[in-house]
Structure 1
């Protein structure tokens, strides 16, 4: 039976894999394409979550990141962690994410769940944390953005699922799904404005 740290780490890794899988097979353009009115895009989500991995498992526990992240510095452009610059290729962002996860994994391996840390950007009444708290926080953060990525990817090209081998949806053809969506639209219309 796995211990609590192993269980938390397994859920964090599952979220990481789901997030990265959403980039598989996409062109540079599609990986960067903003699909919401606020510019949310797949590559930006991966860059953001990598940045959070570095800060939450690094800075919070006195284990600074080994590379600069100018997009998080004071004076950086707003939301600069949520999109890739022209110089930051898809490959660069995926490698950055891998380095951030490796740095996080080293922290997780080195520390006990009750190891203390401090989140300087959280309010004074919440900033003192443990590794356990940060693991739970990053599972939630990663899974939240993996959910965003699910919707973005489906919008881009219709690819769905938790991972390649598990769509987590009923296996129906396009005609069934079109009828299903129409049924939901009809119900929404009947509900009124």
Structure 2
């Protein structure tokens, strides 16, 4: 049936993205997985912590199957967003292991319920949902943060790729500098700051 196919397809994609999120932490030191790499503080371990909290809620309380462990707060009025970074007393292993336990709980919910089983998301404008809606939402949420993790990891050591089995071929610094310089030249040429390279490869910067 198409419903069973849709549920299994979305579930499989979610499983792959979860693994990709954890792969982005592999081989990095404790500081690098925790430190903020954007102006808003985005960091790798915080993304994993955030996903563990919200996946537990979406496949837990939304379907009256609450995750059976205490979770980090997400709604602290005094310091909002604490689900997006790891406190100094929260270990890497603790956060990763909890994420994996959330997977087990979520997978049980997904397996036992039909794709059109009803749920209730009180923080949504239209709170009455089906398992299908939540699967799509959680897949989109995990995919978005996996994209964030791609960029953060690239900033740290230039490693790229979507999964451990399809990591991009590593290039040396000279290759990436040449690639970046080429894209920069093209961007400037597109807005008229410089002329594209002529036949002899000589740039006319127009200055």
Mark yes or no: TM-score above 0.5: yes
- Alignment partners' CA distance in 2, 1:109 and 1:152: 33
- Whether 1:60 and 2:62 are equivalent positions in the alignment is yes
TM-superposed CA distance for 1:119, in Å, is 0.5
Kindly name which structure, 1 or 2, has the bigger radius of gyration based on alpha carbons. Answer: 2
Q: Which runs of 5+ in 2 are unaligned?
A: 194-207
Identify the residue that residue 175 of structure 1 maps to in structure 2. 174
Helix, strand or coil at the partner of 1:3: helix
Does residue 120 in structure 1 map to residue 122 in structure 2?
yes
Q: Which has the higher contact order (CA 8 A, sep 6+)?
A: 1
* Residue equivalent to 1:48: 50
Report the counterpart of residue 95 of structure 1 in structure 2. Answer: 97
Aligned residues: 190
CA distance in 2, matches of 1:161, 1:85: 28
Quote the offset at 1:178 in angstroms.
Answer: 2.2
Match runs of 1:92-171 below 5 Å: 92-123=94-125, 126-167=126-167, 169=168
Contact 1:119/1:128 (CA < 8 Å) preserved in 2?
Answer: yes
Note the residue ranges of structure 1 that are not aligned, 5 or more in a row.
none
**What CA RMSD, in Å, does the superposition of the two structures yield over aligned residues?**
1.9
Q: Flag the 1:76–1:15 CA change in 2: closer, same or farther, 3 A.
A: farther
Contact 2:59 2:109 in 1 (8 A): yes
Q: TM-score, normalised by structure 1?
A: 0.91
Q: Which runs of structure 1 show a deviation greater than 6 angstroms over 4 or more consecutive aligned residues?
A: none
- Structure 2 distance, partners of 1:139, 1:95, is 20
Residue 76 (structure 1) shift: 5.8
